[in-house]
Structure 1
Amino acid sequence: MGTRPRKRRANTPGMAAPRADAAATSAGHHRALTLSADSRDAVRAAREMVRGSLQDWGLGRISDDARLVVSELVSNVVQHAVPDNCLAQPGARRRIDVSVMTWPGLLCIGVTDEDSAPPDLPVGDRLSPELVGDFPEALLPERGRGLMIVQRLADSVWWSPEEPGGKTVWCRFDTDEHA
C-alpha cells in the first residue's frame, strides 16, 4: 500500500498560522495571516483564510470575489515584489501579511509586502468591459491584468506605504450592496 500525501498545515515551514484568529469587536472582525512569498501554497492559504473568515462572519455571498481579489494581490507579491534593502536579510524568506477586516457595511482586505515600489494601479478604463471579449488576447495589456480584475471586483482599491519600508495594497467591498 502506498502512503497518502500529507497535507501542508498552516504552521509548517514556509507557512505561518493566523496571527489574530477571529478577533471580534462590536464594530467588526479581524483576521491576519503571515505567509512566505517563497511558499508554493501562499496564494491557496490566503484564499482559504479569506473564505473561512467570510463564511464565519456570514459574508459568504461575496466570498468568490474576495478570494479572487486576494489571489491576485498575493500573486503579485509572489511574482513581482523585491524586498527593500532595509528589510532584506540574507537567507530570509519574503514575507506577505494578509489582513481581512469588517466593519458594519464594509469588508477590507489588505496585502502587505516588503517592496516600497508602488503598485501599477490602472487609471480609468483601459478597455470597456463590453469590448474585451472582442479583442484577441494579444491586444490586451501585458501587465496589470490582475489589478484590473481587482479594481472591477472591489468597490475601492488603494495602497499605503509602510514603515520602515514596504507597502499595503487595500481593497474595500461595500457589503450592504452585496446583500
Structure 2
Amino acid sequence: MQAAGHFRALTLFAESPDSVRGSRQMVGACLRDWGLPLLIDDACLVVSELVGNVVHHAVPDECLARPGNARRVDITLKMWPKWLFIGVSDEDSTPPDLPVGEVMSPDLAVEFSEAVLPDRGRGLFIVHRLVDSVWWSPGDVGGKTVWCRIDLDCGSGDRSA
C-alpha cells in the first residue's frame, strides 16, 4: 500500500555531461521505490526532454548569473494518491514554447511527420503527448519551473487502461 504522498528533489548542473542521464536515473529509482514501475519509461523521457531543454537553451537571468558558475537545474518529483508531478526548474525566466492543445491529428503525424512537426519545440511536443497536463510557473527571484502532471489510475501507475 502506498503512503499518502512522496517527495524527492535533485539538483544538477547543466554543464555536467551526466545531467540528463542522472535525472533519468533519479526518476527511475524514485518510481521503482514508489511502486510505479509502469510509469518509468514515460517519466524518464519527459525528464530527459525537459533537462535537455535546460542544457541546450537556458540562459540564466542577469540576477542569477554568476560568471564562471554552472547553470543550476532542479528536478522535483511529487506523488499524491492520484497524481505524479514532475518539475524541472532552471535559472532562465523565458517562458517555454508549450504546445497549445492538439497541434495535429495523431494519424497525420505518422504519415507526414517531417511536414507537420514544428521546427522547434519538438521536445515539449513529446512531453505534451506523454503527460496529462503541462504548465510553467515563474520562480520567486527569477528562473522558471516547467511542471508536468501524470494522472495515476487508482494509484497503481497503470496508464494502459
Q: Same fold (TM over 0.5)?
A: yes
Residue 21 of structure 1 corresponds to none
128, 134, 139: which is aligned to 1:162? 139
Q: Does 1:171 align with 2:157?
A: no
Shift of 1:136: 5.0
The alignment yields a C-alpha RMSD, in angstroms, of 1.5
Q: Which has the higher contact order (CA 8 A, sep 6+)?
A: 2
Q: Does 1:96 align with 2:79?
A: no
Within 1, Cα distance between the matches of 2:130 and 2:47? Answer: 11
- The percentage of counterpart residues that share the same residue type is 63
Shift of 1:125: 2.0
Which structure 1 residue ranges, 5 or more long, are not aligned?
1-24
- Name the count of aligned residue pairs: 155
Residue 36 of structure 1 corresponds to 13
Partner letter of residue 142 of structure 2?
A: G
110, 114, 118: which is aligned to 1:141? 118
Which structure 2 residue ranges, 5 or more long, are not aligned?
none
Q: Secondary structure at the match of 1:133?
A: helix
Aligned ranges 1:51-62 → 2 under 5 Å:
51-62=28-39
Moved over 4 A (4+): none
Residue 71 of structure 1 corresponds to 48
Greater Rg over alpha carbons, structure: 1
Within 1, Cα distance between the matches of 2:52 and 2:43? Answer: 14
Q: Secondary structure at the match of 1:169?
A: strand
Shift of 1:94: 0.3
Q: Secondary structure at the match of 2:16?
A: coil
Within 2, Cα distance between the matches of 1:109 and 1:120? Answer: 18
127, 134, 154: which is aligned to 2:104? 127
Within 2, Cα distance between the matches of 1:60 and 1:26? Answer: 16
Within 2, Cα distance between the matches of 1:136 and 1:53? Answer: 33
Within 2, Cα distance between the matches of 1:107 and 1:93? Answer: 29
CA shift digits 1:50-79 (9 cap, x unpaired)? 000000000011111111100100001011
Q: Secondary structure at the match of 2:111?
A: coil
Within 2, Cα distance between the matches of 1:136 and 1:34? Answer: 35
8, 23, 44: which is aligned to 1:46? 23
Distance of aligned partners of 1:136 and 1:153 in 2 relative to their CA distance in 1, 3 Å threshold: closer
Distance of aligned partners of 1:41 and 1:34 in 2 relative to their CA distance in 1, 3 Å threshold: same
Within 2, Cα distance between the matches of 1:44 and 1:37? Answer: 11
Partner letter of residue 149 of structure 2?
A: R
